[in-house]
Structure 1
């Protein structure tokens, strides 16, 4: 697939005055967090006709992605050269993919900007049972680098409207469909992946116009839940800062060294969060059911497994 033609330039940290540029991102996986997007990224990364940058979620078109407090995302329109540089190793004809899965939720900025600068882009949307996704998202944040600002219990966290709103897919998808035709979207549902992963991946290959030669990656071993030790989040933030500011090679060398391995080994440990209480599940189901039914009508797809 030939790269599309974009007309972007950076003058003030974001798209500014116009000139011809042979760079474009062809496909965005815009959602959603905690729905196997990392698993999908690993599969697509191993495909010879697809290019996925090392930074899984550039979030170039995402203004903020912290559910618990408003803070600026440092990579939001941070510089066109930086964003384009993520794809500098892509070969001619490879499908360039951006896995910024927060884009679906932070829809207004993201959809508008992508429509403006990549009007011919296509989109993958991976959707999980919204009840299970909400619970998983909470525990992932609780155990990880947001522990200091995450409520102590899931029930308390439900008072944070963003945590639940992130699982109301209908309104998010509807906004994106205001900018792009539905034919440009490939929806992957958790129950389809559970029932027949090969069939879902065959559909994806047709959507992307690539050969169906995806590698096999266990869904159980990608992006699990880890409890971070206090020193680990600052290390991750420093590494992220270094990669964004010209020290990527140094950060990568350290990460692959014995020191980096020790930091990873002792900085986090696998964490098994408790099962959701039945009363809490029923309450969430009641809150989310109208959205599930609206999404069914919008996509013309039976979402019965999410109603059980």
Structure 2
């Protein structure tokens, strides 16, 4: 039997979502979708538009064709067997789609919303390292930022598709529609830096917020590392596709696969450092949003403005 999800971990991207999702799915009172990031509610929001534009209809057609779990039938099958759980949830980056908040509230007005926040410059650097690992970029980070960000800031960027990558760091602005829809008590905000340093404390705090067993200690694995492969093609091993690879992966328990992936990436990737000048440039852009976020969560975030280098961790 499947149920309507009532718990949504909505992001952000490169903010430890894989690590947190793994911890959540281990709790006996939480049933998380076995497929991470089904992203069902993005096309579902488009389906419910009264008068969609041509562009919106084209986007819906693309989303339905590009994802297996984008239609209601396929999506709700993910939650079969969830009848005994207090919370039925999924992890998708809905944070970047403000209209989705209304659609989810229509379906589940009392839904719990979880968001993980990160220093926005570090978040963007981590996204860069992910593309570097995949071989999708070869430039240094300063060039990567200049290519997609400086033109936007100066108002000369012709390609609007470059804008969202920079805007993913405007976390206060992105969170507000969700708080407006669900109320502050139903939106839980956690800091990535605490997830790095004290993951079990973060887990216990989330479980306490959900009013479920908060002494449950999940296994913690930081899986999604980024960087430059030390040897060409080496970091693609865990992304290998095909029937043989799928059969082999099915034989390995999921948490074991994640531990192996984490260890392999740790050994096979070189992680460059972010130069202070680029970080200062980014934090100047994000400054006002961070100050508003600081007030919202009543937490001192001044250390985010330090122009220091750091390695990507999760």
| TM-score, shorter chain, exceeding 0.5 | yes
What residue in structure 2 maps to residue 224 of structure 1? 225
What residue in structure 2 maps to residue 59 of structure 1? 39
What residue in structure 1 maps to residue 131 of structure 2? 141
Structure 2 length as normaliser, TM-score?
0.71
What residue in structure 1 maps to residue 193 of structure 2? 191
Aligned pair partner of 1:92 in 66, 80, 84: 84
Deviation at 1:206, TM superposition (A): 1.1
Deviation at 1:208, TM superposition (A): 1.5
Deviation at 1:56, TM superposition (A): 1.0
Aligned pair partner of 1:47 in 27, 34, 45: 27
Query: How far does the alpha carbon of each residue in 1:80-108 deviate from its partner, in whole angstroms, 9 at most, with x for none?
Result: 111111111324134211111x2101222
- Asked if residue 118 in structure 1 is aligned to residue 108 in structure 2, the reply is yes
CA contact (8 A) 2:30 2:87 kept: yes
Structure 1 length as normaliser, TM-score?
0.72
Query: How far does the alpha carbon of each residue in 1:65-87 deviate from its partner, in whole angstroms, 9 at most, with x for none?
Result: xxxxx964334983211111111
CA contact (8 A) 1:35 1:126 kept: yes
Deviation at 1:283, TM superposition (A): 0.3
What residue in structure 2 maps to residue 303 of structure 1? 301
Distance 1:157 1:51, change over 3 A: same
CA contact (8 A) 2:31 2:88 kept: yes
Distance 2:102 2:245 in 1: 34
What residue in structure 2 maps to residue 283 of structure 1? 281
What residue in structure 1 maps to residue 290 of structure 2? 292
CA contact (8 A) 1:168 1:288 kept: yes
Distance 1:27 1:89 in 2: 16
Deviation at 1:254, TM superposition (A): 5.6
Distance 2:286 2:292 in 1: 10
Q: Any stretches of 5+ residues in structure 2 without a counterpart? A: 45-57, 151-161, 307-314
What residue in structure 2 maps to residue 208 of structure 1? 210
What residue in structure 1 maps to residue 16 of structure 2? 36
Deviation at 1:270, TM superposition (A): 3.6
Q: Any stretches of 5+ residues in structure 1 without a counterpart? A: 1-20, 65-69, 243-249
Query: RMSD of the alignment, in Å?
Result: 3.6
Distance 1:229 1:120 in 2: 46
CA contact (8 A) 2:200 2:218 kept: no
Distance 2:74 2:285 in 1: 41
Aligned pair partner of 2:247 in 231, 234, 253: 253
Query: How far does the alpha carbon of each residue in 1:201-227 deviate from its partner, in whole angstroms, 9 at most, with x for none?
Result: 2211111221120313143xx112265
State how many pairs are aligned.
261
Distance 1:184 1:257, change over 3 A: closer
Distance 1:39 1:87 in 2: 21
Distance 1:143 1:157 in 2: 19
Distance 1:178 1:25, change over 3 A: same
Query: How far does the alpha carbon of each residue in 1:139-198 deviate from its partner, in whole angstroms, 9 at most, with x for none?
Result: 2134327559xx973432334322210011011011222211011011111233345433
What residue in structure 2 maps to residue 13 of structure 1? none
What residue in structure 1 maps to residue 73 of structure 2? 81
Distance 1:275 1:40, change over 3 A: same
Secondary structure of 1:282's counterpart equals helix
Secondary structure of 2:41's counterpart equals coil
